[in-house]
Amino acid sequence: MKKLIILNLLLVSFFHLSAQDSCVIKVCPNDCLNCYAGMQNVETTGNNIKKTIVFPDMSSAEVKEYLNHVLNISDTSLYNIIVSDSIYNSMSSSLSSEVYVYDENKLEKHSLLKKFDGFEKKNGFEIKIPDTIAISTSGSIINAREFFLISDYTFGKFVFVDKNKDNNVSVLTGEELTTRENYIKITGDTSAYNLFLKYKNQLRRGNADRIRIDPARGSRNQPVSFLMAPDIKFINGTMGIGFKTGIIDFNTPEDYKIFQIDEKSHPSEYYVNPGAYTEYKGKYYLQMGKVDKNANDQNMIGEFVLSDGKYIFSKFLNYKLPTEYQPAIRYSNLGKVLTFVNPYAFLQYSLSYYDLDSDKTLKLPFDTVKLDFFFNSVNYSLTKLESNYVFVDAYVTGKTIRLLFMENNKYYLAEIDRKDGHLISKKEILKPDKKIKLGFYFYSGDKIFYLSTDNSICVEKIKYRQ
């Protein structure tokens, strides 16, 4: 994740990417000649794409030979050529030549050069997950750079679907993560792990005999989730069970890091509400909740720094519990789902959203949100919440926010001007082709993705109602 951030900064600095489509070809000198075959598709498609080629340090004569007799480029003047070890090394996620395609300064496509099939945008695609892998409806799906990540709370596992390697599917369970090393990383307490081992059989009755997985519901593109480690406490001789919160950050399904959240660093009247996380401009932001859920005055976002494997609280941002959720006592048990789409943070049932750059709370240009509970005095389980507005997802470009939301059970996409916040357009969109099990978020500016009930990850072009 950090490598991608560095790469994007370098691209903006050196390649001057604009809102139009751009691509960068990293040429690895150690490839066999067949590995450069995809350059023909770079040449013959995407005539309006701004193209840059990056070489490691080599002589101008070598560069010329590669361009003319290896890559077989017909007109080198159509390319921006950069020769730099530092830029080349920042891009080396693979030991082979690669192509990075950008749309509105965001990575749209990434593949090995030998497998590059051209710039034409496909209307969508579908990846079938084997039926032998069960996924519950309590999970959450994230569109990471090279894979889809499904965090499944009920079944206690992560499911990874690779975008580049024949759509390989792998699974990492909570049981596999429950090691001494991981447990101590989350809790910072060796004695807590010893107690956990001692009473593990008793904890099994409450499904607390392993590290739990708590989905990062509000982190659309960053492959991060929350882990909950059982924490045993004895009060007046009676055993109680709580959970310590940690964060797991995936580089690949096999390569991940686990971090502790330092509970002692933030005010005792607050807790970290596992679900929303983002890294932005070298700082980390987590959703916070007040222990007293009936209080109207509640901070919602905490800023953290990462030091020695711990997220340490720094300060609260100037974003309070919005009026739509007040009086707080009425909505104390309502899950307040926060979603970070940098540089903004959105709440599920609120028109108030927060700008990390300006440190200001802004308002969406829609009618007032109406939240209401309908109580069934005979069967409390039939009590339900109704709202005329539900935030789903956002996609941020240089000038606009594309907002996906529900209004009276219909899906809409709105375009909002980032400069003054005015509504540019609002269109109703059709429901997806298949029945949704998880997700329904932006894949790109004009595509959505979701997990269907038949265990397929579907990416589809957004279709508008005529």
Please, what are the domains in the chain? 2-115 (3.40.30.10)
pLDDT given for residue 44 in this prediction: 81
Q: Is the peptide bond before 29 cis (omega within 30 degrees of 0)?
A: no
Q: Is the peptide bond before 230 cis (omega within 30 degrees of 0)?
A: no
Query: Where is pLDDT greater, at 14 or 276?
Result: 276
Burial of 282 (0-12, 13-18, 19+ CB in 10 A): exposed
Is the predicted pLDDT of residue 331 greater than 70, yes or no? yes
8 A C-beta contact, residue 302 and residue 288: yes
Confidence of residue 19 (pLDDT cuts 50, 70, 90): very low
Is the predicted pLDDT of residue 396 greater than 80, yes or no? yes
8 A C-beta contact, residue 334 and residue 325: yes
Is the predicted pLDDT of residue 17 greater than 60, yes or no? no
* Listed residue (340, 345, 434, 437) closest to 140, CA to CA: 437
| Other Cβ atoms closer than 10 A to 387 | 16
Is the predicted pLDDT of residue 383 greater than 80, yes or no? no
pLDDT given for residue 378 in this prediction: 59
Confidence of residue 49 (pLDDT cuts 50, 70, 90): confident
Select the highest-mean-pLDDT range: 226-240, 293-307, 373-387. 293-307
Helix (H) or strand (E) holding 148: strand 147-152
Is the predicted pLDDT of residue 126 greater than 70, yes or no? yes
- Residues 6 or more apart whose CB falls under 8 angstroms from that of 9 comprise none
pLDDT given for residue 379 in this prediction: 63
Confidence of residue 373 (pLDDT cuts 50, 70, 90): confident
Give the mean pLDDT of 86-104: 84
Tokens of 46: 């995407």
Paired strand residues for 94: none
pLDDT given for residue 121 in this prediction: 64
Is the predicted pLDDT of residue 10 greater than 60, yes or no? no
Is the predicted pLDDT of residue 406 greater than 60, yes or no? yes
pLDDT given for residue 5 in this prediction: 41
Confidence of residue 20 (pLDDT cuts 50, 70, 90): very low
Cα 398 to Cα 17, 41, 51, 258: the distances in Å are 11, 29, 20, 33
Confidence of residue 382 (pLDDT cuts 50, 70, 90): low
- Residues 6 or more apart whose CB falls under 8 angstroms from that of 7 comprise 90, 91, 100
Lowest mean pLDDT among 93-107, 134-148, 203-217, 384-398: 93-107
In the chain, % of residues over pLDDT 90: 64
When the pLDDT of each residue in the chain is averaged and rounded to a whole number, the result is 88
In the chain, % of residues over pLDDT 70: 92
Confidence of residue 80 (pLDDT cuts 50, 70, 90): very high
Give the mean pLDDT of 216-229: 84
pLDDT given for residue 219 in this prediction: 63
Is the predicted pLDDT of residue 18 greater than 50, yes or no? no
Is the predicted pLDDT of residue 392 greater than 50, yes or no? yes
pLDDT given for residue 377 in this prediction: 59
| Other Cβ atoms closer than 10 A to 431 | 12
Is the predicted pLDDT of residue 125 greater than 80, yes or no? yes
pLDDT given for residue 270 in this prediction: 96
In a 3-state reduction of DSSP, which class is residue 374?
strand
Strand 360-363 with 436-444, pairing: unpaired
8 A C-beta contact, residue 352 and residue 322: yes
